[in-house]
Structure 1
């Protein structure tokens, strides 16, 4: 009885050598490395003013006046933040900004979702023309209509419990109405394009089950638009919260002005402590940063949805 002792055939030369490409290790392409470096540089460029403001707000004015803002710190403290919050009366102005921004965001999203649903999900004549009209409103510079709106709001009557002046002028309603009017077109444009990406079969199945238009809108389409609504809500809150033009034009009572006007209270008649002003600016920016952090997951999902679809 003989046993075959022939050597086993050699491994194919086409198989990649394990020593050349270790498992788990990825080659870093120079192009991707350069892209990341560019994005980091751009991010730092955008963050540089905020970081400089935070750095300056923690240092005494005498130190920065003597050594400059880019010098190493001798001492750091939060005294300017306490002083900025108390001297400017920010608690009152914060409430005023919320009174304007929160209803403005809710009204803008609610009304825009109505129009977007009609344009994107219902078969109606002139839907493209209607969408173009709403989008064209964003092309109109806001400063052009300041004078006509000022005259109009001085003539539109309101009950005394809504406005002490008996008109829309010098009331929060004037600022809210203008904010909603100018932001409505952008919200309609974004929501309509978002709703077009939703499967049409969902509404067809709802119609078969006897769902009316309101059910299709409120219980089916609107919950699916949560990422887009979160992204728009974050943007709208930031824009309405930071706006100062319309409040300056339509509100004469200093106690009703938004938080952006509180920074003006930190400027002296003959001298301005810019470190104190920087602390006030950081405090004013905190609510928008907080809103973004809370809605960050939905915000990013709303911006990137559909980016991977063919």
Structure 2
């Protein structure tokens, strides 16, 4: 396929450039990327293994940990292996439909993870604001339904993106100036008006990033009000149960919010900075979530120590 803007043709494959502008540093950049990837795989797999093997951990909060670990494994594996192939072996070509599949997995599971954090915020709200009825309100059925709802929402929100991208049969270039098949990085190459795709992406981003953040913030405002009515000892104990969740939320929303702001408003910021930020919200949360929950959750920490000893 031609790579000139003067001609348009059907893309049988795309070329991912990795991190444009830093090609001479790809081998060195691969070291922290590979380290974070291996830590994410090892940490999340350990969390899954510990919770599956220990029946005493088959409780509402740990079920959420299991779903979160699974989502993080999918996110890490959806982009990093291909990125490392680009860094190490210059295998930058990706088939057209494989690219659309990667686009779906990246955006859908990021949306699903946001939904899981929202469900966990509700879980913490009930546990602290209505503790006597926690076992009645937060049942296994409720957790399964909330997890399925988060997955269904992620798929419904994101499925139109690759479908709309596929309807563009003519592309001006097959070279994607990105390290993975990010939605707008792909459709901007189309020889057509992509304003609808751009607006749809903004709407989805608002519904996921802004609405979920606002709802989580509101739940913690109510949690804080409930904590102020407790004794000092009970307050510290209840606060300790929320620290892990707050840390995980910050690990997830801070990189994705930074990437979104830089993408929309940072016109003068180097392009490779955009790419590094875009990769950070796919790697940092999967790497840090097992560490956050493993350190802050006594039951998991004890099981991990017992498992390896």
Q: Which has the larger radius of gyration?
A: 1
User: TM-score if structure 2 supplies the norm length?
Assistant: 0.30
